[in-house]
Amino acid sequence: MTAHIRKFLFFVFVPVLSMLPAGLLAGNGADSLLRKADSLRLAYDFAGSVGLYDEILDTVTDSVQRIAVEDMKILSENGAEMMDFVSGPTVVARHLFSLDDFYLYYPLPDMSWRPLPNVLDSAKVPHPLVKATYVPEGSSEIFFSAADENGARNIYRTEYRDTIWSLPALLNEGTTSSGDEIYPMLSPDGKQLFFASSGLYGMGGYDLYMSQWDEERNEWGVPMNMGFPYSSPYDDFLFVNTADGKYSIFASTRDCPKDSVCVYVLEYDNMPVRKSMRDASELKSLCRLDPDGDVSKMDNASAVSSGIMENEDTRRYMEKAAEVRALRDSIAACSDNLEKDRLRYAEMTDAEGKNKVAEEILRKEAAIPLLRDSLEKVSAQLQDIEMEFLFSGVVLDPEKLMHEADREVKGASTNYVFTRKNPGKAPEMKIEVPKEKFDYTFMVLPEGRFAEDNTIPDGIVYQIQMFSLSSKATIKQLKGLSPVFEERTASGRYTYRVGVFRKYADVLSNLNKVKKLGFREAFITAFHDGKPVQIQKAKAMEKAAKKIVPLYQIVISPADGVLHDVTVKAIGQMCGKDIAKSEKDGRTEFLVGPFEDTEEMERVVAAIKAAGESDVVTVKTGEKEIDG
The proportion of the chain whose per-residue pLDDT surpasses 70, expressed as a percent, equals 87
Looking at residue 395, its pLDDT comes to 57
- Name the CATH topology of 546-627: Alpha-Beta Plaits (3.30.70)
Give the tens place of pLDDT for each residue, 262-276. 999 999 998 888 999
Please indicate whether residue 193 or residue 355 has the higher confidence score (pLDDT).
Answer: 193
Looking at residue 583, its pLDDT comes to 86
Contact present, 65 and 53 (Cβ < 8 Å): no
**Averaged pLDDT, 27-54:** 88
Work out the end-to-end distance of the chain between its first and last CA atoms, rounded to an integer number of angstroms. Answer: 25
> 38-43: which pairs have CB atoms within 8 A and are 24 or more residues apart?
38/72, 40/76, 41/72, 41/75, 41/76, 41/79, 41/203, 41/204, 41/233, 42/204, 42/233, 42/234, 43/280, 43/284
Q: CA–CA separation, 127 vs 112, rounded Å? A: 20
Looking at residue 265, its pLDDT comes to 94
Please indicate whether residue 581 or residue 185 has the higher confidence score (pLDDT).
Answer: 185
- What residue type is 408 in one-letter code? E
Under the banding of pLDDT at 50, 70 and 90, the label for residue 466 is: very high
- Name the CATH topology of 443-544: Alpha-Beta Plaits (3.30.70)
Under the banding of pLDDT at 50, 70 and 90, the label for residue 592 is: very high
Mean pLDDT of the chain: 85
Please indicate whether residue 154 or residue 32 has the higher confidence score (pLDDT).
Answer: 154
pLDDT at 444 over 50: yes
Looking at residue 287, its pLDDT comes to 96
Most confidently predicted of 61-75, 141-155, 557-571:
141-155
pLDDT at 129 over 90: yes
Q: Which of 62, 30, 38 is nearest to 614 (CA)?
A: 62
pLDDT at 409 over 70: no
**Averaged pLDDT, 426-443:** 88
Looking at residue 16, its pLDDT comes to 35
Measured CA distances, 294 to 206, 335, 341 (Å): 31, 13, 13
Q: CA–CA separation, 379 vs 386, rounded Å? A: 11
Give the tens place of pLDDT for each residue, 501-546. 999 999 999 999 999 999 999 999 999 999 999 999 999 998 887 7
Q: CA–CA separation, 566 vs 286, rounded Å? A: 37
Strand partners, 590: 556, 581
